[in-house]
Structure 1
Amino acid sequence: MGRKNTGGAEETGNTPGRMPLNAGDTGYGSVPGPGLTGSVGASESAPLLIPAEEPEPVRRWQPMSKEELEVAAGGPGWRRVRCYLVLLFWLAWVAMLATSIAIIVVSPRPVATQLKWWQKSVFYQIQPDLFTDKQSEKSEGIIALCEQIPYLKSLGIGALILEGLFDKGEPALNLTAAGGGVGTLPQIQHLVAESNKAGVKVVLDFCKVDLIGPQDEATNLSTTVRHGLRFWVQQGVAGFAICDTDAAYSEKTLLEWRGVLREFSSQEEERVIVVKQTKDTLPPLNNSTLVDVVVRSILPPSNQVLTAQEVADAIEKNLQTKEDIWPSWTIGGKVSPDLEKLLLVLMMTLPGSPAVQYDKDLDPRQNVSLKVSPPPGENNTPSDSHSDKEKKKKHLAVALFTSLSHSRAREEALLYGSFTFLPFNSSSNAVSSDFSSDSPPTPPLLAYLRSWGCVHFLIILNVGPESRVLDPAWDTKLPKAGVFVTSTGLDRLGTTALDSLELQPHEAIVIKLFEAGSYS
């Protein structure tokens, strides 16, 4: 019996050293499966190694087809983006426009003063008898001058100062009758009418004409003079000229003249009183508004031709003079023909109104007379050569005058721009090898600026007989380059750098300065 029980124990698995059949119930060696902690079947089904997750397949980029692009572009998302972009463009454009307008409004700019007609005009002082030959009658000068009015207008001349119509030094008993046999009253009236029709003003010159007379007859003559002034103003005369040495140059007389002119003056057709200054300084008046224009000479009066140094000194003195009354510049003294063009450039570019004296080079009749051929049988070579030189000279004179007058008319800086004298301190060495230490010193270069806003015109004058290299201590605020406007030789074209500029003897140059890379 005992053996059997032992065997039974072995069969039932209670024998030591053997694993019981129900070992799973005891919990030994069990591996719970995921999510089934402690469950019976988990120990058998749970994997011992957890495999890694497989990566998702990578989608390669492919361009959209035409059909897909059309579908996407018409979608609401793209429509919204396009609307935002268009709105952003217009907002940016409006902002830039508003900023530009604000900059223009806020930035300081020069204010142009309304100029009178005499402040914009070029005066031409002329005697009608200069248009006649010695064998012809003086009255023909008026007729010849009438024929030249359109030509003078084309040159840029805006006003004529008619000289020599009345006898100088004699009492003006009748201002309605011309003296000296220059022309009859109807001829002068016709000249004034033709000038006004062409847009050229006429100023009658009473300089050195006795308009006051003896003191005991002053009352009667004053009435006569007043009647004569009214007569000529009614004929269309734009003003009258007297000298500072005349008895009429007094505050009492000028007040009477101003009263007469005011009766016939309007805003469009204002009459003027011109005073020719013959002294170094103009005699002062308590009321400076009685005089509109003062004709001043750039050079001092002289019976001999002035030297280059004297001309340079006179120019520099006038450049540093401040004028209270509107000036009108004329040459005045005698100079060599080489300096005439330089002084013309100076007059045309200074603040004020140029008053040019009669120049035979500007007379078209002189050009016609050069075309007359010499008698047959004579050697034509020398005369033809001289004639060609004279033709070229006259042609250049007309071209220079026209260039200066037209530039002055269209450029604001030359009309009412500010004036700045530039002291070069320039004793720049002459380029010519003939210059020696024993020779007199060469006049320095003279220069000045006419400025309006950001536009600058530089005028440089080489009065001396030697070539000069421009080497100034240039203002750092000014541009270093420019474009040629005109020159005395009319042979300067295009742009130039001021550091490499060389001036020829007796040459004047007008340059419009601009910033590098622009032509403003």
Structure 2
Amino acid sequence: MPVNAGNIGYGNVPVSASETAPLLIPEPASLWKPMTKEELEAADGPGWRKVRFYLVLLFWLAWVAMLTTSAAIIIKSSQPVAEPLKWWQKSLFYQVQADQWTEEQAEGSEGIYVHEQLPYLRSLGIGALILRGVFDVEVSPSNLTATDANFGTLAWMQHLLSESRKADLKIVLDLCELDLLGPQDVGGNLSAATQRALHFWLEHGVSGFVICDTDAAYSEKTLLEWRGVFGEFSSREEERIVVVNQTADVLRPLNGSGQINITLVDVVMRSILPHSHHLLSAQEVASAIQTNLQTRGDDIWPSWTVAGKTSDELRKLLLVLVMTLPGSPTIQDDNKMEKTKDKGEKNRAAVQLFSSLSFSRAREEALQCGSFTFLPFNTSLSSNSSCVPPLCPPILAFLRSWGCAHFLVLLNVGPEPHTLDPTWASRLPEAGMFVASTGMDRFGSASLYTLRLQPYEAIVIKLFEAGSHS
């Protein structure tokens, strides 16, 4: 082929190009150049240091915030969410024979007056008073707004209601065993006189009424009419309630219906002991407690109380029991609990035990709305004990739990000391803290492996799970 063969060139280089032209066309100069020494020194000035410091600080703060939020979500998700309790579900009820207050006040200036007694009871954690003895047993619906001649004047009752509002105490009137319908109330219809009486007391600030399950008013028709009257005065914080006093081992069905309508009854007051005219023995008390703990119903909100007679040692044990059972405890009137001018050593010990239990219950969700588990307990008696089952009642125990919080309640109803069986105790967390005891002489940490219960002693222990510091 001729050297000068037309305009054909080699590659991308035209024939007309100069021989000195470069064969490869260089790339355009880069827009980014390495920083010079002077530029680097300028970037390390005070302004840039401050910017870098705040950027690093912002990064670590964001990291810590994300870590804290994640931990809070995990902890909160593991805890159950409780429905808000109503006032009567959170309250401690104190049942008072109210005519005794008027008698004490009539004795003279040495007595404790209502305006002193009510704030004192509220300071102990009591939220509501159930007043008994206000009306004559033979009262009729037409004079249900009049008080018993032995109780005092109506003006004194109105003064009591006024002072209770100042002390933030609810008042519930006991109408048990009263004839609330009368002969003219055919078919259980609420008479106009009874409706006027209910309006009268509700307008004066009464928060509810107690009736017995043997009363004629204990019927679905009557309670529905009561609910209609209550609706005119009720709000969530001022809800009016019906308390039914259970007189037998099993709650009776509503009169005329053959069944219990739980929507018409707010609280069922039950006694942990059977009614008796003699002092119940330790074995009888243990049997009654065990029966009630194993057959406890969850359909209606309970209020446990102690109606049977027993010894002083067992009364303290029963106080611990009713204050730790599910529901709203009802404490029978006791001179040891009320304010007096000269409070003896026994009174101070009773008040100390009650205050410890009431304050623990007020701040611990496990004791307010936690689950209930009855525990079969194994114990061993001392070698020289002369007491053998069934004469020696066993240890009774139950657990109240809410999330990771567990409260163990131990009851030694017998006259002999008991040592816990370590094999049984291994099923629960070993470590715990004493919350209360009948002798108020248990303090600090507790170990189930070395615990020894004294005769007629009740103990409340808050158990700690492994890795828990609550």
TM-score (norm 2): 0.82
- Alpha-carbon distance in structure 2 between the residues aligned to 1:142 and 1:403: 27
Residues 140-151 of structure 1: pairs in structure 2 closer than 5 A: 144-151=113-120
Deviation at residue 431 of structure 1 after TM alignment: 2.6
Match of 1:443 in 2: 393
Match of 2:261 in 1: 287
Query: Aligned pair 1:394/2:347, yes or no?
Result: yes
Match of 1:105 in 2: 73
Structure 1 pair 127–138 and aligned structure 2 pair: CA distance change class (3 A) = farther
Query: Aligned pair 1:175/2:144, yes or no?
Result: yes
Structure 1 pair 294–472 and aligned structure 2 pair: CA distance change class (3 A) = farther
- Alpha-carbon distance in structure 2 between the residues aligned to 1:139 and 1:257: 40
Query: Aligned pair 1:347/2:322, yes or no?
Result: yes
1:403-439 Cα offsets, whole Å, 9 max, x none, are 1111111112111112121122x2x2223724255x7
Deviation at residue 172 of structure 1 after TM alignment: 3.1
1:48-106 Cα offsets, whole Å, 9 max, x none, are xxxxxxxxxxxxxxxxxxxxxxxxx9996xx9999999977865664454244234325
Match of 1:420 in 2: 373
Instruction: Name the amino acid aligned to 1:129.
Output: D
- Alpha-carbon distance in structure 2 between the residues aligned to 1:219 and 1:417: 39
Q: Of 55, 67, 84, which aligns to 1:114?
A: 84
Structure 1 pair 143–403 and aligned structure 2 pair: CA distance change class (3 A) = closer
Uncovered stretches (5+) of structure 2, i.e. residues with no partner: 1-40, 254-258
Q: Of 94, 108, 111, which aligns to 1:124?
A: 94
Query: Aligned pair 1:315/2:289, yes or no?
Result: yes
Query: Aligned pair 1:209/2:153, yes or no?
Result: no
Query: Aligned pair 1:190/2:159, yes or no?
Result: yes
- Alpha-carbon distance in structure 2 between the residues aligned to 1:115 and 1:315: 26
- Alpha-carbon distance in structure 2 between the residues aligned to 1:290 and 1:436: 48
Instruction: Name the amino acid aligned to 1:344.
Output: L
Deviation at residue 516 of structure 1 after TM alignment: 5.1
SS at match of 1:362: coil
Instruction: Name the amino acid aligned to 1:497.
Output: S
Structure showing the higher helix proportion among its residues: 1
Deviates further, 345-354 or 106-115: 106-115
Instruction: Name the amino acid aligned to 2:70.
Output: A
Q: Of 304, 325, 339, which aligns to 1:329?
A: 304
- Alpha-carbon distance in structure 1 between the residues aligned to 2:289 and 2:217: 30
Match of 2:246 in 1: 277
Query: Aligned pair 1:257/2:226, yes or no?
Result: yes
Instruction: Name the amino acid aligned to 1:422.
Output: L
Deviation at residue 142 of structure 1 after TM alignment: 11
Deviation at residue 517 of structure 1 after TM alignment: 6.8
- Alpha-carbon distance in structure 2 between the residues aligned to 1:236 and 1:351: 28
1:112-139 Cα offsets, whole Å, 9 max, x none, are 11100000111011112223559x8699
Deviates further, 494-503 or 209-218: 209-218
Deviation at residue 441 of structure 1 after TM alignment: 3.4
Instruction: Name the amino acid aligned to 1:270.
Output: E
SS at match of 2:145: coil
Instruction: Name the amino acid aligned to 2:130.
Output: I
Instruction: Name the amino acid aligned to 2:439.
Output: G
Greater relative contact order, per chain length (Cα 8 Å cut-off, separation 6+): 2
Instruction: Name the amino acid aligned to 2:84.
Output: Q
SS at match of 2:229: helix
Deviates further, 447-456 or 239-248: 447-456
2:190–2:225 contact (8 Å) kept in structure 1 = no
- Alpha-carbon distance in structure 1 between the residues aligned to 2:415 and 2:399: 23
Structure 1 pair 282–220 and aligned structure 2 pair: CA distance change class (3 A) = closer
Deviates further, 169-178 or 237-246: 169-178
Deviation at residue 218 of structure 1 after TM alignment: 7.5
Query: Aligned pair 1:512/2:462, yes or no?
Result: yes
- Alpha-carbon distance in structure 2 between the residues aligned to 1:153 and 1:216: 39
Q: Of 398, 403, 426, which aligns to 2:356?
A: 403
Number of aligned residue pairs: 422
Structure 1 pair 86–514 and aligned structure 2 pair: CA distance change class (3 A) = farther
Deviation at residue 140 of structure 1 after TM alignment: 11
Match of 2:35 in 1: none
Deviates further, 97-106 or 484-493: 97-106
Q: Of 465, 470, 473, which aligns to 2:420?
A: 470
Deviation at residue 149 of structure 1 after TM alignment: 0.6
Query: Aligned pair 1:246/2:211, yes or no?
Result: no
- Alpha-carbon distance in structure 2 between the residues aligned to 1:435 and 1:348: 32
Query: Aligned pair 1:296/2:270, yes or no?
Result: yes
Deviates further, 99-108 or 273-282: 99-108
Instruction: Name the amino acid aligned to 1:298.
Output: I
Q: Which has the larger radius of gyration?
A: 1
Match of 1:455 in 2: 405
1:131–1:141 contact (8 Å) kept in structure 2 = no
Q: Please give the root-mean-square deviation of Cα atoms over the aligned residues, in Å.
A: 3.2
SS at match of 2:78: coil
2:373–2:400 contact (8 Å) kept in structure 1 = yes
Structure 1 pair 152–96 and aligned structure 2 pair: CA distance change class (3 A) = same
Uncovered stretches (5+) of structure 1, i.e. residues with no partner: 1-72, 371-390
- Alpha-carbon distance in structure 2 between the residues aligned to 1:449 and 1:141: 45
Structure 1 pair 432–345 and aligned structure 2 pair: CA distance change class (3 A) = farther
1:173–1:221 contact (8 Å) kept in structure 2 = no
1:477-518 Cα offsets, whole Å, 9 max, x none, are 742111111111000111011110111111111111113575
TM-score (norm 1): 0.74
- Alpha-carbon distance in structure 2 between the residues aligned to 1:220 and 1:477: 56
Instruction: Name the amino acid aligned to 2:177.
Output: K
Match of 2:34 in 1: none
1:305–1:334 contact (8 Å) kept in structure 2 = yes
- Alpha-carbon distance in structure 1 between the residues aligned to 2:401 and 2:322: 17
Deviates further, 282-291 or 470-479: 470-479
Q: Of 434, 439, 449, which aligns to 1:489?
A: 439
Structure 1 pair 423–82 and aligned structure 2 pair: CA distance change class (3 A) = farther
SS at match of 2:238: coil
- Alpha-carbon distance in structure 2 between the residues aligned to 1:124 and 1:216: 32
Deviation at residue 343 of structure 1 after TM alignment: 0.5
- Alpha-carbon distance in structure 1 between the residues aligned to 2:54 and 2:92: 57
1:420-475 Cα offsets, whole Å, 9 max, x none, are 21122x2x2223724255x7532111111111211111111111111111125447
2:91–2:328 contact (8 Å) kept in structure 1 = yes
SS at match of 2:248: coil
Deviates further, 241-250 or 160-169: 160-169
